[in-house]
């Protein structure tokens, strides 16, 4: 085996190791979110508190935003334990906000949407991992479209247009399907550039897990709008 081939093999092994860590952390975060959401939705005490204190959802959403910004900007300066705890905290907060989904959609619809999201995620993440095509230009376009989507969503809060609602929904699905592939490729490139699976490499894997977790839950929410025709009684 030549030195070049050996180096390639070592790099591939390192990337595979970091992606294994990434997907395990992401799966754990999704499990925490799902379990938290389900059990809170089944708690009459929590539901009663939520209806008498609707500001709780806003507090949780602002807390989620704060945790994401803090974790994304400072992850490399934290200990791995602190970064992991923040990721868990974010997953729990998301579970709190997602608990209301069980009050709107039936369990079958939520389960169907989850598996559809998981299947789509698997395919697009695999595409991003394996493709030789540079997706950076596509990614830049997708991020610009995402900004437009956020602006349109804010506008639709005030105009309440059904047509705009569905345009946003289908555009959101397309954007996040593309972002899954783009972000996977970007993370793979980051791992290759860093070149080692030490603690800092594990922190990069956690940050990658957070990125793909966000892609997953956003795709899930947009697909749930499409599949969610049934309301829970």
What are the tens digits of pLDDT across the range 199-221?
788 899 999 999 999 999 999 99
**In this structure, are residues 30 and 220 in contact, taking their beta carbons and an 8 Å threshold?**
no
Domain count, the chain: 1
* pLDDT mean over 89-118: 94
In-domain check, residue 94: yes
Q: Is residue 77 part of a domain?
A: yes
- Reported pTM: 0.91
233, part of any domain: no
pLDDT band at 7 (very low <50, low <70, confident <90, very high): low
Does 209 map to a domain?
yes
Give 1's DSSP letter: -
Residue 3 pLDDT greater than 60, yes or no = no
- Cα separation, 30 vs 35, whole angstroms: 9
- Give the tens place of pLDDT for each residue, 123-162: 999 999 999 898 988 989 999 999 999 999 999 989 888 8
- Band (pLDDT 50/70/90 cuts) for residue 4 is low
CA–CA separation, 153 and 168 (whole Å)? 7
In a domain, 232, yes or no: no
* Domain assignment of residue 81, yes or no: yes
Residue 231 has pLDDT above 50, yes or no: no
Does 139 map to a domain? yes
| Residue 208 near residue 190 (C-beta atoms within 8 A) | yes
Cα–Cα distance, 211 to 205 (Å, whole number)? 10
pLDDT given for residue 232 in this prediction: 42
Domain range for residue 17? Answer: 3-227
């Amino acid at each position: 085996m030549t030195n070049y081939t050996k180096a390639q093999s070592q790099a591939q092994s390192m990337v595979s190791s970091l992606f294994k860590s990434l997907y395990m952390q992401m799966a754990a975060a999704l499990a925490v979110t799902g379990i938290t959401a389900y059990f809170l939705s089944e708690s009459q005490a929590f539901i009663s508190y939520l209806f008498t204190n609707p500001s709780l959802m806003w507090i949780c959403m602002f807390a989620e935003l704060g945790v994401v910004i803090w974790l994304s900007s400072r992850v490399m300066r934290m200990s791995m334990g602190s970064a992991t705890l923040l990721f868990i905290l974010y997953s729990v907060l998301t579970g709190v906000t997602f608990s209301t989904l069980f009050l709107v959609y039936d369990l079958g619809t939520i389960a169907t949407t989850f598996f559809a999201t998981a299947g789509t995620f698997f395919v697009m993440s695999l595409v991003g991992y394996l493709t030789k095509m540079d997706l950076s230009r596509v990614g830049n376009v997708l991020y610009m479209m995402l900004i437009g989507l956020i602006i349109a969503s804010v506008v639709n809060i005030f105009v309440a247009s059904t047509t705009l609602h569905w345009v946003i929904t289908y555009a959101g699905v397309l954007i996040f399907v593309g972002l899954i592939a783009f972000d996977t490729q970007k993370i793979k490139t980051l791992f290759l550039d860093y070149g080692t699976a030490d603690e800092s490499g594990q922190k990069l894997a956690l940050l990658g897990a957070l990125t793909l977790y966000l892609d997953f839950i956003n795709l899930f929410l947009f697909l749930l709008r499409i599949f969610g025709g049934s309301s829970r009684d």
